[in-house]
Amino acid sequence: MINVIEFPEGKSTLKGILDKRQIQFDQVEQTVKTILSDVKANGDKAVIEYTQKFDGVLLEDFSVSQKEIESAVEMVDPSLKEYLSAAKANIERYHMPQLTKSYFIEEKHVLLGQIVKPIEKAGIYVPGGKAAYPSTVLMNAIPAKISGVKRLVMITPPRKDGTVKESLLLAAHIAGVDEIYKVGGAQGIGALAFGTESIPKVDKITGPGNIYVNSAKKLVSGYVGIDMLAGPSEIVIIADESSNPKFVAADLISQAEHDETASAILLTSSRHLADQVLSQLYTQIERLERKETIKAALADYGAIVITDSLDESLKVANCIAPEHLEIMTQDPFSIYERIENAGAIFLGQYSPEPIGDYYAGPNHTLPTCSTSRFSSPLSVDDFLKKTSLIYYKKEALARAKDAVTAIAQEEGLTGHKNAVQVRFDES
């Protein structure tokens, strides 16, 4: 059911599991290029055709009306409304301090600054089907609204009857999304990137999706900004003999149920705990609705890795650089600072990954496939742009003249040198 690996002897086995996480764009890229070119050239007509082909519904009008939103809000269970509103408050509280302000430095006839402004138009992609999650709406929309984005556009694939899942519309309403369109897939990304007769061109696209959506985001990057290329969900758990095996198994399962390519890995130096977790996996999986998905994910992308020590577990975790990292050791606060690479860290026995997915406040849009080595969770900063400001009086330029002209001369750019010198010519 799940790979049990002795480390370091099984290092190559673990590497093989990790290498499979990488997104393979080659198999879909040509198809996606064709879709994007068609949308760019033919706008709504192409989007209508691809929506009918891939989603099985013919739509003449993609927009979600205010009436549809109001109806969805009425249909959703009141308790879910309350919980999503509470989650919104937590997400706002966490993200508000991320808001960056412009600053200026003034001294000796020089004014320097950084001007911070929001992106004018942002688009968020919200998957449909099995991954139609209202939490995705909140996590993408709320940082955008905090940043001051002027026009926030959401797209999501329609259901077979041409409607959108009610909880997605409720979440969009709660988060303050300005416009919603029933479009998904690569054609939806193309519509946001290039604009159509109905759907506005945006400046940046965020949000997760399948390999077609990711490939489309990769290809339109440059026409528009994107947040990241998100691979399958993943978790690494560092545990010791003090950990509750029932909790560990449940948290591995919580990631494995996302889809057959989700990765769930336990790192522990306790063979006894490893055996107990394995037993718990067999027991708990059989009670769950998505047990076949869970079994497939654990068989192909899951592992219980038995290390020599806690130090080795930490080293392996840093090499994996996971999306989610749970530290369920006896004293997680004494070791979490030794983690160099992770999208989000969860400490202790009572901080399961789902609390971060839905409610705690930190963003759940996280770097996957080891990209936490160089990238960060989605944040308010993703919806801001920064412009440098430079003002020199003549006295200040005179002080800098020799340095600037010498560097320009060294680089062979005499036009640069002249642009400074000409300001001090006597003639």
Pairing of the two strands 225-226 and 204-206: parallel
Structure tokens that stand for 122 in this block: 């942002």
One of 166, 234, 257, 323 is an active-site residue; which one? 323
CB contact set of 77 (below 8 Å; sequence gap of 6+): none
Query: Quick check: bond before 8 cis, omega within 30?
Result: yes
Per the CB < 8 A criterion, the answer to whether 95 and 361 are in contact is yes
One of 324, 326, 353, 364 is an active-site residue; which one? 324
95 is catalytic: no
337 is catalytic: no
Structure tokens that stand for 238 in this block: 């560092």
Structure tokens that stand for 130 in this block: 């099995």
Burial class from Cβ neighbours inside 10 Å (0-12, 13-18, 19+) for residue 420 reads middle
Strand ordering across the sheet containing 324-328:
3-6, 302-306, 263-268, 234-239, 324-328, 344-347
Helix segments in 291-393, DSSP class H: 291-301, 310-320, 353-358
Q: Which 3 state secondary structure label does DSSP give 163?
A: coil
Per the CB < 8 A criterion, the answer to whether 323 and 234 are in contact is yes
Q: Tally Cβ neighbours within 10 Å of residue 118.
A: 19
Give CA–CA dist 302/395, Å, rounded: 65
Q: Tally Cβ neighbours within 10 Å of residue 113.
A: 15
User: Where in the sequence numbering do the catalytic residues fall?
Assistant: 323-324
